[in-house]
Chain A
Amino acid sequence: MTAVTLRPAARAARAGGGLAGAGTLLKMWLRRDRVMMPAWIYVLTALVASTVYSFKNGYDSPASLEGFARGIDRNPSMRALYGPVLNDHTAAGVSAWRVGATGAALTAVMCVLLVVRHTRAEEETGRLELVGAAAVGRRAPLTAALAAAVTAAATAASLAAIVMIVFGLPAAGSVAFGLSWFGTGLVFAGVAAVTAQLAETSRLANGLAFAALGAAYLLRGVADAGSAHWVAWLSPIGWAQRVRPHADEQWAVLLLPLLAFAVLAAAAYALAGRRDLGAGILAPSPGPARAAPSLRGPLALAWRLQRGTLLGWTTAFLVYGLAIGGVADGVGDLVNGSGAVLDDIRKMGGQHDVADAFLATAMGLMALFASAYAVQGVLRMRAEESGGRLEPVLATAVGRTRWALAGLAVTIAGTVVLLAVTGLAIGLVHGARSHDLAGQIPRQLGAALVQLPAVWVLAAVTALIFGVLPRAASAGWGVLAACLLLGQVGPLLKLPQAAMDASPFTHTPKLPGGGFEIAPVAGLTAVAIAVAAAALLAFRRRDIG
């Protein structure tokens, strides 16, 4: 009896070659992703639904929609950001333009995260070694990870197409739209499969894959903004656009991502066969045998630990600043047909000049992003503590106050760098486009820097939680989320001023365009200093660990 029941299993294992156990692994991965994957798919679907809804209902006539789309298409910065408007006659065409490239990029991000999470991250933590010791084929983990990513991309793409059809958009264009996202997802699942073989850490694997995605987006942007349109054919994001959903669909273009996926997956399997478990193809560079003479105090240590993160954030702030600066003077065209949008922007910004109102809103947003950096920077201190790296430092001649001040100082300096870079970038591009460099650079730099005191309050509040209740330190994110919600939803709900005043961002002068007042800026700074002092006092008195 046993021989009879064993035989099919043995045959299956032989037939599966290196793939035995892939199905079990896939089930396990999907179970582990039961929160992350639906969340991503929800965001992507909601993006399509809200965009289609607003274009179907936001414009009184096809002519006003067309006017809006033509205005956009004349602005190279907008083309660089979103791509060209391929069909400006219908809400379907404009919707596909508006979410096509961003949605494809987000699908790619989801696929990269999924593949790396189930390949390199599993190896890095050593969990894959446990799995590998069980009856699992050599190619099974990579296959299961790719299958998980493909499942996620296919679900998101199908739902996007279904949402468009439900809203009454043409079925063929909707399917092509879904497939354009799916194709991009496939390509970057393949890219991540390769980078997961190259890099030894999941951080580097993600970084390499995102660099490829960034390059793809940039190539397409350069191609769409300028005249060298053929360059977009080098970019998988460009392929997604050139499927032309809702604008005379080109189905044959979908072969390109399929082909790329096949090549990348084959490369990943080949690389996987050439390396040991846990190792990467790119050997990690060894570190120095001696510390640089400058690495000699808690400040130098804090800088060393945060500089990589700060560099990444600075790049993002720089790119965002350049983009915002580039579109600011075209905002008038953007809201031409839609008075409601203009009113919304004014409600948030409170200015009369549309470009200023738009920039003031953008500055407010940058303040929130800079606060996210600040919260993360302060929580770094908690990570040092809970990771057991603080104890040996405090067991040397470094006092607690000195260590905590060093961490705070690097974080605070980081927020100054981020907002200064954004302000300069906006001033430079906006100034160049409106032929007022000498005026706009100091004006936008000032508007960016005036956001700082509110950001510092957030950093100080997070530090206070760290000082008093270290285990609850991540509640700093909750404080930031509450401020974000208050700032975005409060004016629309017409909340009482007392409620709005709870957020430090409410008190920041609305620049550029609004009036500058010293009192709220000084007040916020004073609050930040007082809260930070309380945080230090609490940290001096509590147990470490």
Chain B
Amino acid sequence: MTDAVQAEGLVKTFGRARALDGLDLRVAAGEVHGFLGPNGAGKSTTVRVLLGLMRADAGTARLLGGDPWRDATALHRRLAYVPGDVTLWPNLSGGEVIDLLGRLRGGLDERRRADLLDRFELDPKKRGRAYSKGNRQKVALVAAFASDAELLILDEPTSGLDPLMEEAFQECVREERRAGRTVLLSSHILSEVEALCDRVTIIRKGRTVETGTLAELRHLTRTSIRAELAGPPDGVPLPGAHDVRIDGDTISFEVETAELDAALRQLTEIGVRSLTSRPPTLEELFLRHYEDDHSGRALQEGGVS
């Protein structure tokens, strides 16, 4: 399977600040790839390098098999981009902006344009200055989804959308995937990433800290266990357990997935009355990387289904 995006060791400095510090990103063709990181982690800078709007100081980047800087105009015919903070020309109507961006790229699917306006409940006759933040994002989303691009680069596209429109957005991304297109989705909204993405890359301070499928990422982290036991659990050895809390006969803790089996054996020695086990949510995965200060282990690539 070929890669739609392939970036290795990207470095970008602004004065003394290092926005990107050896960032790796690989997006396989045909997948929806989540790109996660807190504000200032370097998501938008990465996207700008991939779009040829900025030149990296070091590292290599390939986009749809070309050089994002040298072949920018040719590559841009094959992709559509929604910026994180959509600003429109105050005097142009939303419909005009959609048509203009489509024509500048080289074409627009008319049927899909009409359908999307309907689904996003967007009034195309309003002027740019009259749209709210969410509606400006809808204009950019309609322009992007109505294109027949191979690759969609969406930079936090839903931060201003209400839950209904969020649902419409997710449906559109699923249609794109069914049509065989590749989506790079940078996002803050973890539930959205969990619902949509095949694989995820988590970055922090310009560096990749985790990448893989959600299942793989979960495998590397802790599971929450809460158990009511037959007797008090005092003195039970629990290798690999964290945040152990004991309240009478009840014990709760988090355990590394690799140690889960050993921990459960210890509990059954005492006798288990009830047990709840919960895999980590993406949010917990995410927060863990930003709470602990160790940089985490990057998963080996390759296990993509």
Contacts and interface: CB of A to CB of B under 8 A. Distances in A.
- A and B co-occur in one complex: yes
Interface of A: 201, 284, 286-292, 295-298, 301, 304-305, 308, 387-389, 391-399, 543-545
Give the top 8 A-B pairs by smallest Cβ distance, nearest first: A287-B93, A291-B99, A396-B104, A286-B125, A395-B81, A291-B96, A396-B105, A544-B53
Given A291-B96, A393-B104, A545 B87 contact: no
Contact of A397 (B96, B100, B104, B140): B104
Nearest to B90: A201
Given A304-B92, A389-B89, A395 B53 contact: yes
A545 B104 contact: no
Contacts of A397: 73-74, 76-77, 104-106
B95 A284 contact: no
Nearest to A287: B93
B142 interface: no
Nearest to B72: A399
Contacts of A201: 129
A288 B125 contact: yes
A223 B83 CA distance: 56
Contacts of B62: none
Contacts of A286: 93, 125-127
Given A287-B96, A543-B53, A296 B127 contact: no
B76 A391 contact: no
13 contacts: A286-B127, A287-B96, A287-B126, A288-B95, A291-B103, A389-B87, A389-B88, A391-B48, A395-B83, A396-B101, A396-B105, A399-B72, A543-B55
From DSSP, what is the main secondary structure of chain A's interface residues? Answer: loop
Interface string B54-90: 1100000000000000001110110101010111110
A212 B52 CA distance: 49
A287 B127 contact: yes
B114 to A, nearest CB: 10
A201 B128 CA distance: 13
Given A286-B93, A397-B76, A545-B53, A295 B100 contact: yes
Contact of A395 (B51, B126, B127): B51
Contacts of B55: 543
A357 to B, nearest CB: 43
From DSSP, what is the main secondary structure of chain B's interface residues? Answer: mixed
Contacts of B38: none
A372 to B, nearest CB: 22
A290 B79 CA distance: 22
Interface in B241-286: none
B130 interface: yes
Nearest to B97: A291
Given A284-B127, A287-B96, A398 B104 contact: yes
Contacts of A392: 81, 83, 86, 101, 140
Which range holds the interface residue count of chain B? 35 or more
Contacts of B105: 396-397
B44 to A, nearest CB: 9
A295 B99 contact: yes
A296 B83 CA distance: 21
A292 B91 CA distance: 14
A284 B130 contact: yes
B160 interface: no
Contacts of B93: 286-289
Contacts of B89: 305, 389
B124 A396 contact: no
B96 A288 contact: yes
Interface in B95-119: 95-96, 98-101, 103-106
Contacts of B140: 392
A519 B100 CA distance: 43
Nearest to A291: B99
Nearest to B127: A287
Given A397-B76, A544-B48, A301 B53 contact: no
A395 B55 CA distance: 14
Nearest to B79: A395
Contacts of B91: 287, 304-305, 308
Contacts of A388: 83, 85-87
Nearest to A401: B73
B217 to A, nearest CB: 30
B130 A544 contact: no
A276 to B, nearest CB: 14
B129 A391 contact: no
Nearest to B129: A201
Contacts of B88: 389
A310 to B, nearest CB: 14
Nearest to B153: A395
Contacts of B129: 201
A399 B73 CA distance: 6
A387 B106 CA distance: 24
Contacts of A398: 73, 76, 104
B287 to A, nearest CB: 30
B17 to A, nearest CB: 14
Contacts of A287: 91-96, 125-127
Contacts of B127: 284, 286-287
B46 to A, nearest CB: 13
A466 B106 CA distance: 28
B104 to A, nearest CB: 4
Contacts of B125: 286-289
Contact of A391 (B74, B83, B99, B100): B83
A298 B153 CA distance: 22
Nearest to B95: A289
B121 to A, nearest CB: 14
A394 B48 CA distance: 11
Contacts of B53: 391, 394-395, 543-545
Contacts of B51: 391, 394-395
A291 B95 contact: yes
Contacts of A304: 91-92
B143 to A, nearest CB: 8
A388 to B, nearest CB: 4
A295 B96 contact: yes
Contacts of B153: 395
A284 B125 CA distance: 11
